[in-house]
Structure formats: C-alpha cells, structure tokens
Amino acid sequence: MADQIDSTGPLLSYVRDVSLRDDDILRGLREETAQLPGGTAMQVMAEEGQLLALLVRLTGARSVLELGTFTGYSTLCMARALPADGKVVTCDVTDRWPDIGAAYWKRDGIDDRIELRVGDARDTLDELLTERGAGAFDLVFIDADKTNYRTYYEKSLALTRSGGLLVIDNTLFFGRVADPEFDDADTVAIRELNSALTADERVDISLLPMADGITLARKR
C-alpha cells in the first residue's frame, strides 16, 4: 500500500494542465514577483492561491484576515472569491511589497475589497480585536514570519468565528520539521506550533502535504 506519490516535475506539470485556472493578471503578478530577491520562495504557488479561493467560497466567507501580504498574490486570489461586499484585511510590516500587488488588485477591479494594514502583525491583531471583537472573521490565512506563528495563531483564533477556518502556510517548512539536524528558530517555531495543534481541542485539523505544507484548522 503506497504512502504517497512523488511530486515529480512532469506530474506537477500535469496537475497544472488539468486543474490550474490561470489568467493574465494572476500570471503577471507571479512573474513580476519572481523577479524580486527571494520572490519565488516567498510567493504562494499558483495552486495554493487557487485552493485559497476555493476555501473562501466553500466557507461562504465575507470577512478574511491575512497575515503576510508580500506582493499580494494570495490577497488577490482570496479577494476575487469574496462577494462584492466582502473584505480582505491583509497585514504586512511594510507597504513596499504590497504596493506591487495593489496595481494588479486595481486592474482586476477588486481593490475595494482589500484593506491593507501596515505594522507589526501582533499589534494589528490586538487592534482588530478591540475594533471588531472576537469572532469577526470567517477565514484567516497565516503566512508571515515563522518565529511568531504561535502568537499569530492564538490571536487569530480569537478573531475567528466558530465554524470558521484558519489556513496556516509553511507547516512543513521545506521538510526541515522532520529533520533533527535543523534547529534554527524558524524551524523550531513551526515544529512547536504543529505539536500544539495536534493537541488543541479547540480546532479540527488537517495538515496537507502540498506546496510547503498547509494546515487547515476549523474552529469548533
């Protein structure tokens, strides 16, 4: 009985051929981001962006919170999937990279669904809890600095409604989480969060072995 298929180059190409629905705006933002230092590594895969859009639709989300905007590819994917009166609140420590995505958001006609907040995400989360109260968001996507993942998770959980969904990126972290040779702060932080999620009775979880590891956590 096989445990898992190998995601070879030809197989990934086949998956994209038969499932990826792409267009000039999405492709253009990915290509511009790829020219940046570390752009390819930091940007979510096109397949993951499409999955995020599907999750927004499946949950019927109208309010989405994103931690870690970068150039706003995932922001674009999720905002597209919202109803016209929906909103993505996306947070980043700088507006330098989100400014790249803003041109694509406007070109796509969904910029009015996106609110960018710049600053330390821990402070932003506290502000949102004060402004909007607990349970204000239907879906939260966490894809920011790894050392603060546990803090982001706890604060985001408070901001997520019962039955809402948290999507946590990079939970396999280039495979380093399974290699004891890696004990850097980022890897350790991801391992600790994964262990905590396993025992967290407040959520139902599934860690998907796609992209760099994506954990889905449904708030009970």
* Cα 141 to Cα 4: distance, rounded to the nearest angstrom: 26
* Ordered structural domains, the chain, with CATH: 9-219 (3.40.50.150)
Does position 118 have pLDDT exceeding 60, yes or no?
A: yes
pLDDT tens digits, one per residue of 127-156 = 999 999 999 999 999 999 999 999 999 999
Q: Quickly list DSSP for the chain.
A: --S-----HHHHHHHHHHH----HHHHHHHHHHHTSTTHHHHSPPHHHHHHHHHHHHHHT-SEEEEE--TTSHHHHHHHHHS-TT-EEEEEES-STTHHHHHHHHHHHT-GGGEEEEES-HHHHHHHHHHHH-TT-EEEEEE-S-GGGHHHHHHHHHHHEEEEEEEEEE-SSGGGGGG-TT---HHHHHHHHHHHHHHH-TTEEEEEE-STT-EEEEEE-
**How high is the mean pLDDT of the chain?**
96
* Cα 44 to Cα 70: distance, rounded to the nearest angstrom: 10
Residue 1 or residue 58, greater confidence: 58
Please compute the mean of the pLDDT values over residues 158-170 and round it to a whole number.
98
pLDDT tens digits, one per residue of 5-43 = 777 889 989 999 999 999 999 999 999 999 998 898 899
pLDDT category at 2 given cuts 50, 70, 90 is low
Global confidence as pTM: 0.96
Residue 32: per-residue pLDDT: 97
